[in-house]
């Protein structure tokens, strides 16, 4: 069973679609059959969906539940995760389109201050927006999910996914990309007088998304963003993490000499370390090699793969939830954090030398129960399982 059935508007769904038709010379877990990979991924989705997708009472809208943390009902980051997951799982879930459309209507109800196409980054438990600014990563995933939806279901229903995707992609370029450095802004509430204008969150670099954006809009400025960010990441690895290849949560001084952010730049004392934002980097960057064969992607994650296998002695039970850029554990965090574990599995896919390690990561990752983790860990786990099982597509 292929979980991500592609249903073209002019053709009926094929009952036996092919797997991973756009993967380019990469590996998937080899210790179990493809059918078992599919079943494990589908089973986890069947647990994830009722736990995290919630309906707005009396309205045709749904949101990805933030579990009420900090008084929040939803954040755009989670909404983006949910929308990508839902459209990719349409070959398994016959109600996926209905669910997806409700998720999209929630996005359109919670618009940012500057653009009706971008999403306000957080909603309180009463459903009101916390403020009207955005978080770029959420918008990027939502826009990408619309391209997937157009491919999956066509554009003849009440939502023209392709048109909505193009409008949103153009607004991301206008509001969330720095035109001076071609780097990714933290959100659309910034201007060139802001102290954060020359800062970026490393996990917002999603080069496979950006290549799809360029194809969908014909806007070659996305190529400038891709080139600038790959150049920046190589500089950061070479300068600040030559042994481990790790990237910090945030990079600052992009108009001068880039460097890791200091403590409490935006979120925590670990803003300049490989923490709960940067843990997504191996997945976001590695996906570009998996889909497009970009060697810059492979070069970055190979460095990380080599380090993580060495530092753990190829034992997933030695993984920690956070590292300094030198590759040392942050305060001996030896607890399991699936948001750190899962992306190492995706990055391992780029080289056959990692086959045994990839198998171990899959076994380790899928052994944890959904009740033991929050929306962030479980959603990243599921997204990365979809990729590792061969069910991701552009």
Strand partners, 201: 250
Report long-range pairs for 175-179 (Cβ below 8 Å, ≥24 apart).
175/112, 175/114, 175/115, 175/118, 175/134, 176/118, 176/134, 176/136, 176/139, 177/221, 177/225, 178/254
Residue environment code for 351-364, b if the CB has 16+ CB neighbours within 10 A, otherwise e: beebbebbbbbbeb
Distance CA 278, CA 201 (A): 8
192 is catalytic: no
| DSSP strand pairing (62-64 vs 72-75) | unpaired
Cα–Cα distance for residue pair 136/106, rounded to 1 Å: 17
Out of 137, 164, 171, 394, pick the active-site residue.
137
Active site residue 188: no
Which pair of tokens denotes residue 343? 């992306």
Residue in 38, 77, 249, 271 annotated catalytic: 77
Distances (CA, A) of 140 to 12, 15, 147, 333: 29, 31, 11, 30
- Distance from CA of residue 379 to its chain's centroid? 10
Whether 314 and 234 have beta carbons less than 8 Å apart is answered as: no
Say if CB 283 and CB 346 are below 8 A apart. yes
DSSP 8-state class, residue 261: P
* Euclidean distance between CA atoms 341 and 347, whole angstroms: 11
Catalytic site positions: 77, 137
């Amino acid at each position: 069973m292929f979980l991500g059935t592609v249903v073209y508007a002019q053709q009926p769904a094929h009952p036996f679609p092919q797997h991973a038709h756009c993967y380019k010379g990469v590996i998937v877990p080899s210790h179990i059959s493809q059918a078992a990979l599919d079943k494990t991924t589908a089973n986890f989705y069947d647990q994830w969906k009722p736990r995290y997708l919630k309906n707005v009472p009396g309205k045709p809208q749904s949101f990805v539940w933030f579990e009420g943390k900090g008084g929040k009902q939803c954040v755009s980051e989670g909404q983006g995760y949910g929308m990508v997951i839902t459209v990719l799982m349409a070959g398994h879930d016959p109600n996926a389109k209905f669910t997806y459309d409700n998720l999209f209507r929630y996005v359109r109800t919670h618009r940012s201050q500057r653009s009706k196409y971008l999403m306000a980054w957080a909603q309180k438990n009463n459903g009101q927006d916390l403020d009207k600014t955005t978080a770029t990563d959420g918008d990027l995933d939502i826009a990408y999910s619309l391209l997937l939806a157009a491919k999956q279901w066509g554009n003849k229903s009440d939502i023209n996914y392709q048109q909505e995707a193009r409008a949103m992609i153009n607004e991301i370029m206008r509001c969330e990309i720095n035109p001076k450095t071609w780097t990714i802004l933290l959100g659309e509430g910034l201007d060139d007088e802001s102290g954060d204008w020359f800062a970026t969150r490393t996990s917002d670099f999603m080069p496979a998304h950006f290549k799809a954006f360029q194809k969908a809009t014909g806007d070659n400025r996305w190529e400038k963003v891709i080139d600038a960010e790959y150049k920046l990441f190589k500089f950061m690895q070479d300068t600040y993490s030559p042994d481990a290849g790790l990237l910090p949560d945030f990079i600052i001084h992009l108009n001068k000499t880039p460097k890791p952010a200091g403590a409490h730049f935006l979120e925590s004392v670990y803003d300049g370390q490989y923490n709960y934002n940067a843990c997504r980097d191996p997945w976001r960057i590695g996906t570009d090699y998996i889909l497009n064969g970009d060697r810059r992607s492979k070069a970055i994650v190979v460095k990380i793969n080599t380090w993580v296998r060495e530092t753990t002695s190829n034992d997933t039970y030695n993984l920690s939830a956070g590292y300094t850029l030198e590759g040392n554990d942050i305060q001996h965090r030896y607890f399991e954090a699936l948001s750190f574990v899962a992306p190492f599995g995706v990055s391992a896919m780029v080289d056959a030398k990692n086959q045994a390690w990839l198998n171990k990561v899959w076994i380790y990752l899928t052994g944890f129960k959904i009740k033991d983790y929050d929306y962030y860990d479980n959603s990243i786990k599921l997204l990365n399982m979809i990729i590792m099982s061969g069910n991701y597509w552009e």
